[in-house]
């Protein structure tokens, strides 16, 4: 039998040798069982709460598992796969469904054991508690750093971090501090953030992270204290605990949530002041003016252009937006200056009329419709061959989920609404809903009537025409799938829009939406200047 070994250490286990240690004990178990190790996967410095598929080596492990390259997975313990109960259950079930036996060398887990589900549940609860405790201790440690005169978090532009005893403190970096004062002075003198960013980039002055300057890096948010012009550290006030990071349970991505102002921690540090109070106040006074006058990034508005933000710059890949009342242009050039991207410019009226004309012609022609029907037919035939097996697989998982829910409900009734148990119950119910929806989708796919496609296709054309007459925002949503990935390029002194119309049918309706992965390509090249 062929085996794989997975190892991981996170920021709470900083010994690099831990990967080798984990691999060693797993290899010893493989040798004892007479297993041939196909590959060893190791993620270093990766948190246990990060989804496996989002880790470099974890993604490779999953790909090899799905390809059937091994039949046994050895780990030091299930917590190496994940410390998050939901993610751990998801990856274990995914591997077990592929017939892969999972062995935990240190914690005794065996996916073929009769008590495996109880083992996972109890270990998962322990790991959830561990993560919560770790977050609390980390936050407490950072607060302690601040109380002892250190700093918590990153190092703002204008400063450097130096070790003093058991803490790291900030000190002024003179060259960068001079740039900070220049930014404040120019803004107070009436320069826009766009002009300041363009000038800094033209002079090849890098941000603290080595990137280019943008309007958002300078202006940020006055309410949140973000951006150079709003950072109170420049007047000797260290503000911490403004926000916290939480993980989205659906995507696994971390999002930033603002804390109420009364929870902020503020410490005076006069030695870190680089901007005089009068200059700071002058900038605050300008912030109080209307956005256009203040040179900042005003509040978001409803889009008023058909293609602004939907097209991409052919030179830098950035968004193409309305740069004036008459022109589309590169957002990177507008935001960061010509030193970052020389950009492309085209008249809005020409882009709108000519690109719309080409789209209408394609929608009215029969070639695209025939291509859509052919590709959808191929996709449907291939999918239908797999649908019966998929439904059986999902049905088996659904039965298992129902059993889990019964066990969890029983546990809650006996021990009470423990947060970890309640969260596990909610997550399992969510997974049940997902599986039920997937079964419904697969079954509906088998009922797709290809004869309806022409009518649905005409509906798309009608939606576009109707939206153009009534609401720009609606028109943009209809146009979005039609021009996905379109680039504005210069060629021979002329400006063109290059795009593919391969996803045009996706916006038509439910039936076609079910096969949104169908892919075909129709090249379009529209002269707009």
pLDDT number for residue 483:
75
Handedness of CA 75, 81, 84, 90 (dihedral sign): negative
Per the listing, tokens 């204008």 go with 158
pTM (two decimals): 0.51
**Range in 117-126, 340-349, 372-381, 425-434 the model is least confident about:** 117-126
Mean predicted confidence (pLDDT) in 7-36: 80
- At residue 102, what are phi and psi to the nearest 5 degrees? -110, 125
123 within domain boundaries: yes
Residues 463 and 328 in one domain: yes
pLDDT number for residue 505:
33
> Of 509, 519, 523, 525, which is closest to residue 454 (Cα–Cα)?
509
Q: 416: left (phi > 0), else alpha (psi -120 to 50), else beta? A: left
pLDDT number for residue 37:
94
Q: Is the pLDDT confidence value at 328 over 70?
A: yes
Mean predicted confidence (pLDDT) in 250-269: 67
Residues 113 and 59 in one domain: yes
Cα 399 from Cα 404, distance rounded (Å)? 9
Query: What is the pLDDT confidence band of residue 91, given thresholds at 50, 70 and 90?
Result: confident
Q: Give pLDDT tens digits for 208-258.
A: 889 999 998 999 887 777 899 999 889 988 877 666 555 555 555 666 666
Q: Is the pLDDT confidence value at 358 over 90?
A: no
Highest mean pLDDT among 49-53, 85-89, 212-216, 520-524: 212-216
Residues 232 and 369 in one domain: no
Cα 74 from Cα 1, distance rounded (Å)? 13
Query: Domain tally for the chain?
Result: 4
pLDDT number for residue 218:
94
Q: Give pLDDT tens digits for 431-440.
A: 888 888 888 8
Reading across the β-sheet that carries 72-75, which strands appear in turn? 36-44, 2-9, 72-75, 101-104
Residues 452 and 441 in one domain: no
Note down the domain range covering 113.
2-134
Asked if 253 and 166 touch (Cβ cutoff 8 Å), the reply is no
pLDDT number for residue 133:
57
Residues 315 and 207 in one domain: no
Residues 210 and 329 in one domain: no
- Straight-line distance from the first to the last Cα atom of the chain, in angstroms, rounded to the nearest whole number: 64
pLDDT number for residue 519:
35
Residues 232 and 352 in one domain: no
Q: Give pLDDT tens digits for 474-495.
A: 777 767 777 767 888 887 778 8
> Of 449, 451, 450, 452, which is closest to residue 460 (Cα–Cα)?
452
Query: What is the pLDDT confidence band of residue 504, given thresholds at 50, 70 and 90?
Result: very low
Cα 104 from Cα 102, distance rounded (Å)? 7
Across the chain, what does the average pLDDT equal?
76
Q: How many CB atoms lie within 10 A of CB 33?
A: 12
Residues 325 and 469 in one domain: yes
Distances (CA, A) of 386 to 392, 396, 442: 10, 16, 9
Domain boundary among 261, 294, 327: 294
Cα 197 from Cα 209, distance rounded (Å)? 15
Here the tokens at position 282 are 């002058």
pLDDT number for residue 155:
87
pLDDT number for residue 187:
94
Here the tokens at position 10 are 């996170």
Domain boundary among 272, 294, 316: 294
Instruction: Report which DSSP code applies to 321.
Output: E
Distances (CA, A) of 119 to 114, 115, 124, 293, 361: 10, 6, 8, 63, 62
Mean predicted confidence (pLDDT) in 193-201: 93
Residues 483 and 368 in one domain: yes
Residues 224 and 342 in one domain: no
pLDDT number for residue 473:
76
> Of 487, 497, 470, 501, which is closest to residue 365 (Cα–Cα)?
501
pLDDT number for residue 241:
67
Burial class (CB in 10 A: 0-12, 13-18, 19+), 496: buried
């Amino acid at each position: 039998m062929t085996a794989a070994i997975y190892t991981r250490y996170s920021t709470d286990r900083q010994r690099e040798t831990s990967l080798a240690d984990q691999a060693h004990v797993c290899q010893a178990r493989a040798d004892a069982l007479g297993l041939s190790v196909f590959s060893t996967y190791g993620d270093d410095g990766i948190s246990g709460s990060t989804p496996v598929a989002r880790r470099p080596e974890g993604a490779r492990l999953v790909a090899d598992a799905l390809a059937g390259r091994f039949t046994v997975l050895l780990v030091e313990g299930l917590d190496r796969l994940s410390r998050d109960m939901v993610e751990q259950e998801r990856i274990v079930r995914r591997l077990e469904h592929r017939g892969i036996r999972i062995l935990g060398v240190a914690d005794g887990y065996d996916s073929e054991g009769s008590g495996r589900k109880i083992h996972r549940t109890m270990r998962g609860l322990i790991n959830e508690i561990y993560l919560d405790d770790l977050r609390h201790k980390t936050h407490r440690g950072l607060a302690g750093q601040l109380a002892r005169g250190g700093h918590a978090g990153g190092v703002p532009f204008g400063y450097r971090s130096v070790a003093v005893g058991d803490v790291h403190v900030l000190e002024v970096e003179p060259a960068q501090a001079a740039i900070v004062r220049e930014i404040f002075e120019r803004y107070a003198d009436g320069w826009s953030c766009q002009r300041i960013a363009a000038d800094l980039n033209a002079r090849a002055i890098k941000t603290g992270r080595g990137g280019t300057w943008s309007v958002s890096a300078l202006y940020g948010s006055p309410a949140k204290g973000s951006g150079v012009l709003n950072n109170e550290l420049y007047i000797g006030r260290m503000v911490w605990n403004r926000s916290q990071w939480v993980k989205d349970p659906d995507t696994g991505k971390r999002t930033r949530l603002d804390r109420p102002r009364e929870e902020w921690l503020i410490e005076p540090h006069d030695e870190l002041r680089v901007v005089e109070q009068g200059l700071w106040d002058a900038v605050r006074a300008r912030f109080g003016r209307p956005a256009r006058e203040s040179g900042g990034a005003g509040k978001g508005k409803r889009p008023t252009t058909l293609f602004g933000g939907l097209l991409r710059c052919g030179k830098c890949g950035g968004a193409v937006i309305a740069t004036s009342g008459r022109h589309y242009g590169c957002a990177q050039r507008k935001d960061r200056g010509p030193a970052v991207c020389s950009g492309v410019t085209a008249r809005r009226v020409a882009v709108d009329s000519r690109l719309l004309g080409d789209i209408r012609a394609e929608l009215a022609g029969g070639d695209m419709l025939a291509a859509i029907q052919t590709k959808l037919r191929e996709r449907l035939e291939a999918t239908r061959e797999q649908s019966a097996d998929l439904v059986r697989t999902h049905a088996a998982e659904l039965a298992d989920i129902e059993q889990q829910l019964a066990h969890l409900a029983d546990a809650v009734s006996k021990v009470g609404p423990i947060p970890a148990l309640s969260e596990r119950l909610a997550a399992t119910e969510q997974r049940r809903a997902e599986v039920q929806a997937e079964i419904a989708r697969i079954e509906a796919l088998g009922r797709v009537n290809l004869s309806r496609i022409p009518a649905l296709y005409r509906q798309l054309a009608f939606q576009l025409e109707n939206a153009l007459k009534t609401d720009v925002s609606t028109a943009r949503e209809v146009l979005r799938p039609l021009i996905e990935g379109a680039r504005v390029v210069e060629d021979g002194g002329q400006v063109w829009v290059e795009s593919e119309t391969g996803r045009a049918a996706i916006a038509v309706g439910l039936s076609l939406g079910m096969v949104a992965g169908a892919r075909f390509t129709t090249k379009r090249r529209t002269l707009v200047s």
